Amino acid sequence: MAKVTMADVASYAGVSKSTVSQYINKRYEYMGEDTREKIKLAIEELGYHPNYIARSLKQKKTSMIGIIVADIVHRFSTEICRSIEDYCFEHDYQAIICNADNNPAKERTYIETLRAKQVDGLIIFPTGQNTDIYAKMIEEDYPVVFMDRDIPGIEAPFILSTNVDSSFQAIQLFLENGHTNIAILTQPLTISTRKERMDGYKKALQAYSIDICEDYIISSEIENVKTALSKLFQKENPPTAILAGNDLVFLETLAFLQENHFRIPEDVSLIVFDNFPFAHLSNPPMTIIAQPAFEMGRKATEVLLKEINKESYQKEKIIYPCELIVRQSSIKKI
């Protein structure tokens, strides 16, 4: 069976080939409802499939973007990707998602591969360790938006959140409930978000004239979190409160506490910095710092499409406030 062409659709619908092209590209401004219905029926009856490769060559755009996620396992990252994909669908774009595993070599490969596939732009959760390739994209005026993580010296659109202030608020809440032995757990301080949350922790202690105890600061790979906690709780003055730096750290912390029969909040008060799903249904319900992932994802895509379409926009760092959702069931007053 011969492949159905645009000319076949035009002949079947009794319209010109250019009118069919306008319909496929959703340029309906000067097209009556009857004409649109005729073309729609012709496409369905003939089983026509547009040649998107030829279309992209003609328009010099693929209507596809790439998303390079640092670690798709994080709930925050997943929510942002869903938001980006929703926005793309609403605007007739498609999204390709790649998971870099916080690996700069993998990130570099994905950037080069997606650009070779001629995606129209990229949204990147950067490792921060490929500054040369970031700078090259900016120099070439290639559409790119950086998500969640700041990179000093790179002049590009960034979508960020208030990590320092939010971490400060969490520690302040512990302090106001009488805690002074407060620990913070993060993954290694290789990216801006983790460093900023650590900064917020230290600033809060300093603001309340509490000495910073290095024993209470753990920056560890996920697989080593429980070992680090075990050493910490064997010390003479173990922490009475913990800020878990993200959802993965929290899960390891929770597993350690349960395995060692520590109760929340009777033995240890706990706050989670991340979009931990069903936190209100956990036992006990957990105090969290929630980031506006969906809003951040939509804004990143909105900015990227403006870049792609050469529309004017403010190239700046857009910083979204987080929300400290307090559930006293996870915090004990002492």
Tokens 């971490």, residue located: 167
* 124 beta partners: 68, 146
Domains and CATH numbers, the chain: 6-50 (1.10.260.40), 63-161+293-320 (3.40.50.2300), 163-291+324-330 (3.40.50.2300)
Q: What's the sign of the alpha-carbon dihedral 73, 74, 78, 80?
A: negative
Q: What is residue 253's predicted lDDT score, i.e. its pLDDT?
A: 96
Going by C-beta distance under 8 Å and a sequence separation of 6 or more, which residues neighbour residue 298? 83, 84, 86, 87
Q: What is residue 2's predicted lDDT score, i.e. its pLDDT?
A: 67
Q: What is residue 54's predicted lDDT score, i.e. its pLDDT?
A: 56
- Per-residue confidence in pLDDT tens, the chain, 334 aa: 568 888 888 898 999 988 888 888 777 888 889 999 999 999 888 888 876 555 555 556 789 999 999 999 999 999 999 999 999 999 989 999 999 999 999 999 999 999 999 999 999 999 999 999 999 999 999 999 999 999 999 999 999 999 999 999 999 999 999 999 999 999 999 999 999 999 999 999 999 999 999 999 999 999 999 999 999 999 999 999 999 999 999 999 999 999 999 999 999 999 999 877 776 767 798 999 999 999 999 999 999 999 999 998 878 899 999 999 999 889 999 9
Tokens 């998107």, residue located: 52
Q: What is residue 30's predicted lDDT score, i.e. its pLDDT?
A: 81
DSSP secondary structure letter of residue 290: E
Rounded Cα–Cα distance for residues 328 and 318 (Å):
31
Given a contact cutoff of 8 angstroms between Cβ atoms, the answer to whether 279 and 314 are in contact is no
Q: In degrees, to the nearest 5, what angle opens at C-alpha 221 toward C-alphas 109 and 209? A: 120
Q: What is residue 52's predicted lDDT score, i.e. its pLDDT?
A: 57
Identify residue 166 by its one-letter amino acid code. Answer: S
Q: What is residue 27's predicted lDDT score, i.e. its pLDDT?
A: 79
Identify residue 64 by its one-letter amino acid code. Answer: M
Residue 156 CB neighbour total at 10 angstroms? 20
Rounded Cα–Cα distance for residues 129 and 264 (Å):
38
- Condensed to tens digits (0 to 9), the pLDDT of residues 12-68 reads 899 998 888 888 877 788 888 999 999 999 988 888 887 655 555 555 678 999 999
